[in-house]
């Protein structure tokens, strides 16, 4: 069952010269799928993520997420839809500095007026799942990058969203913390059946996914599925990136661990 259906989506930014950032893009994302979106700089990845996040609307084309057309919602309904059905993870964590790890994580439930005991149960489960027991009372400036991103993932998951949208979630992490976060996202995807859509420049990060969708100049370029080992998938991603015009020379020394 497709949880996201994008049908001929086009996004035109008006300016002195109108610019088409996304052009007639169609794709579907299955429930429980872990999808990476890759493309050169300026290919429209952020624009697409903004549309999938329902914070921006396509100029034409249709989109359904979890059976809902976000364009049919009022601003208030749209905010509620985001809060209940979507989770967001960003490159720079976006934690509130004056709140502790557990306060940051529980924030979406506080906004949703859940009871204290419901919040506590869900929080305890997630703190354990994310291995944050030793830092649950810490503030963001007392965390490593990996702990901060795991907290942000906890905040994104606490309300059990249908779709998790991640924008370069490993962009600010070293390779060890990146690996931890990617393994965590893989576990969340498999165990909680959360659909994940992740924009990334990193072929290693993309190799954790089930499928990579490549876009170029706002248009569908290609897609590949992982049907074999991660190492082989990684090589196929590099091959596609070289066809795309991405600079794979920078990656020639990359080793998949």
Ligand X SMILES: Nc1ncnc2c1ncn2[C@@H]1O[C@H](COP(=O)(O)OP(=O)(O)OP(=O)(O)O)[C@@H](O)[C@H]1O
Closest by alpha carbon to 170, among 146, 189, 141? Answer: 146
User: What's the closest the beta carbon of residue 203 comes to ligand X, in angstroms?
Assistant: 14
Q: Of residues 10, 23, 24, 46, which one binds ligand X by CB under 6 A?
A: 46
Min. distance of Cβ 201 from ligand X in angstroms? Answer: 7
For residue 17, state whether it binds ligand X (rule: CB under 6 A): no
Q: Segment near ligand X (CB under 6 A), from 43-51, 61-69, 95-103, 183-191?
A: 43-51
In the complex, minimum distance from the CB of residue 222 to ligand X, in angstroms, rounded to a whole number: 16
205 phi/psi in degrees, rounded to 5: -60, -45
Spatial distance between the Cα atoms of 157 and 54, rounded to a whole number of angstroms: 18
Least separation in angstroms between residue 195's CB and ligand X is 21
Q: Which of 3, 4, 33, 43 binds ligand X (CB under 6 A)?
A: 43
Residue 45 binding ligand X, by CB under 6 A: yes
- Please tell me whether residue 19 binds ligand X under the rule CB under 6 A: yes
Least separation, in Å, of the C-beta of 47 and ligand X?
Answer: 3
CA distance 108 to 48: 24
Separation between Cα atoms, residue 12 and residue 21, nearest integer Å: 6
C-alpha–C-alpha distance, residues 91 and 145, integer Å: 10
Q: Which stretch binds ligand X (CB under 6 A): 34-42, 134-142, 176-184, 233-241?
A: 34-42
**Candidate list 8, 42, 137, 160; residue touching ligand X; CB under 6 A:** 42
Can you read off the two tokens belonging to residue 100? 């502790």
The structure tokens listed for 171 are: 């962009």
Dihedral sign (CA 162, 185, 165, 129): positive
User: Which range touches ligand X (CB under 6 A), out of 11-19, 118-126, 186-194, 243-251?
Assistant: 11-19
CB atoms within 10 A of CB 252: 7
Residues belonging to the chain: 257
- Site residues (vs ligand X, CB under 6 A): 13, 15, 19, 21, 39, 41-47
């Amino acid at each position: 069952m497709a949880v996201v259906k994008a049908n001929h989506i086009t996004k035109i930014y008006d300016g002195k010269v109108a610019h088409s950032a996304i052009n007639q893009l169609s794709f579907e994302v299955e429930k429980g799928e872990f999808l990476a979106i890759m493309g050169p700089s300026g290919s429209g990845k952020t624009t697409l993520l903004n549309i999938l996040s329902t914070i921006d609307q396509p100029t034409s084309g249709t989109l359904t997420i979890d059976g809902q057309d976000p364009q049919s919602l009022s601003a208030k309904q749209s905010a509620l839809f985001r809060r209940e059905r979507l989770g967001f993870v960003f490159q720079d964590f976006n934690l509130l500095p004056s709140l502790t790890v557990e306060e940051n994580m529980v924030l979406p439930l506080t906004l949703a007026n859940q009871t204290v005991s419901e919040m506590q149960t869900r929080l305890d489960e997630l703190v354990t799942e994310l291995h944050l027991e030793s830092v649950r009372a810490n503030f963001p400036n007392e965390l490593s990058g990996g702990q901060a991103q795991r907290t942000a993932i906890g905040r994104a998951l606490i309300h059990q969203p249908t779709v998790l949208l991640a924008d370069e979630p490993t962009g600010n992490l070293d390779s060890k913390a990146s690996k931890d976060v990617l393994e965590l996202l893989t576990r969340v995807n498999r165990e909680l059946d959360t659909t994940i859509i992740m924009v990334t420049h990193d072929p290693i990060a993309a190799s954790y996914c089930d499928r990579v969708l490549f876009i170029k100049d706002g248009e569908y370029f290609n897609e590949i599925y992982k049907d074999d080992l991660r190492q082989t998938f990684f090589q196929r991603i590099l091959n596609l990136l070289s066809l795309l015009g991405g600079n794979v020379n920078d990656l020639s020394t990359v080793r998949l661990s």
